Amino acid sequence: DSGGFQVFSLAQINKIDDQGVTFRSHIDGSKHRLTPEKSVQVQENLGADIIMAFDQCPLPTDRGIVEKAVARTNAWAARCREAHPDDTVQALFGIQQGGIFEDLREQSSIALRDLDFPGYAIGGLAVGETKPQMYAALDYAVPMLPQNKPRYLMGVGAPDDLVNAVLRGVDMFDCVMPTRIARHGAAFTPYGTTNLRNLEHARAETQIDDTCSCYCCQNFSRAYLRHLVKSGELLGHFLLSVHNIRFLLRHMEQIRQAIFQGALQDYADAFLARYLQNL
């Protein structure tokens, strides 16, 4: 990541201008400066295979703010491309912004396509808008990006969102959701998310998901996992994280298999009917 989302999430301690971002450390109050060039340098030093252009990620529904963020993100993308022109070792992806405004997404996409990145991210979604708003934005945002290059939806990881985004042409995702909900005692299942803190699991000797091959499901009951979570044992958070990550990996494996078989819509319909049935 380039740091753009952190700028958004820590807005109360930073100041943004056309050259970059100035922020104060939450530890000692010292002042720091992050520019597009500095962001690229840090990511290069980290050795990431895919690095991201520095962007401004605004709330998606205020047009005036989003319009300014798109112009700034486009300018920063050009500076990042100049700082990292060679994608042989590390691929620099551009980030499309524009909130829920189709014309601004198109404006962003045109600028990014001209810079010929090896991959393109869709940013500025899943940051406060509703799911229908996000899906509607994807309907027009994804086709604006080159079909022959990876299209990456940033910060989205709910199982129903993954399959809905793939149906719209998205290839890649990242999200903290599987580990975040694990820290709160929750687990993905084919029938939706379940909270292991609930009393119904207190004497359940079954695993979270009897179709799952993860270490957690192969070795531990819901009752024992509930005991770990209720006791504040870190092992509980770890085991639920293992399960949740495996659940998403298997979900994406099944999506890829459905694509190869020409049955993606059938898979999506069956998965969503089951996963959302208790909502």
Instruction: State residue 12's pLDDT score.
Output: 57
Q: Which two tokens stand for residue 83?
A: 């700082």
Specify whether 171 is catalytic: no
The dihedral built from the CA positions of residue 56, 58, 60 and 62, taken in this order, carries a sign that is negative
Q: Which residues contact 235 (CB under 8 A, 6 or more apart)?
A: 228
pLDDT band at 137 (very low <50, low <70, confident <90, very high): very high
- Over residues 33-46, the pLDDT tens digits come to 889 999 999 999 99
Average pLDDT over residues 80-86: 97
Which residues are paired to 21 by β-bridges? 16, 34
The CB density around residue 207, as the number of other CB atoms within 10 Å, is 19
How far apart are the C-alpha atoms of 96 and 70, rounded to whole Å? 8
* Longest distance between any two alpha carbons in the chain, whole Å: 60
pLDDT surpassing 70 at residue 8: no
The CB density around residue 17, as the number of other CB atoms within 10 Å, is 8
Average pLDDT over residues 207-223: 97
- Over residues 148-199, the pLDDT tens digits come to 999 999 999 999 999 999 999 999 999 999 999 999 999 999 999 999 999 9
Residue 162 carries which DSSP code? H
Residue identified by tokens 């604006």 is 144
Catalytic residue among 1, 55, 161, 209: 1
pLDDT surpassing 80 at residue 121: yes
How far apart are the C-alpha atoms of 213 and 247, rounded to whole Å? 9
- Over residues 92-114, the pLDDT tens digits come to 999 999 998 999 999 999 999 99
From residue 30, give the alpha-carbon distance in Å to each of 13, 14, 19, 233. Answer: 11, 12, 19, 35
CA 229 centroid distance within chain: 26
Instruction: State residue 233's pLDDT score.
Output: 97
Q: What integer best gives the mean pLDDT of the chain?
A: 93
Specify whether 209 is catalytic: no
Between 65 and 51, the more confident residue is: 51
Instruction: State residue 10's pLDDT score.
Output: 57
CA-based R_g, the chain, Å: 21
How far apart are the C-alpha atoms of 94 and 109, rounded to whole Å? 9
How far apart are the C-alpha atoms of 271 and 162, rounded to whole Å? 11
Are 77 and 69 spatial neighbours (Cβ–Cβ below 8 Å)? no
How far apart are the C-alpha atoms of 266 and 263, rounded to whole Å? 5
pLDDT surpassing 80 at residue 3: no
Domain boundaries, the chain: 4-175, 179-275
Percent share of the chain, pLDDT over 90: 81
Are 39 and 80 spatial neighbours (Cβ–Cβ below 8 Å)? yes
From residue 170, give the alpha-carbon distance in Å to each of 146, 148, 156. Answer: 11, 12, 11
Average pLDDT over residues 257-263: 98
pLDDT surpassing 80 at residue 7: no
Instruction: State residue 131's pLDDT score.
Output: 94
Instruction: State residue 28's pLDDT score.
Output: 87
Instruction: State residue 104's pLDDT score.
Output: 97
* Dihedrals phi, psi of 74, to nearest 5 degrees: -65, -45
Which residues are paired to 189 by β-bridges? 192
* Domain 4-175 class in CATH: alpha beta
Catalytic residue among 62, 174, 266, 269: 174
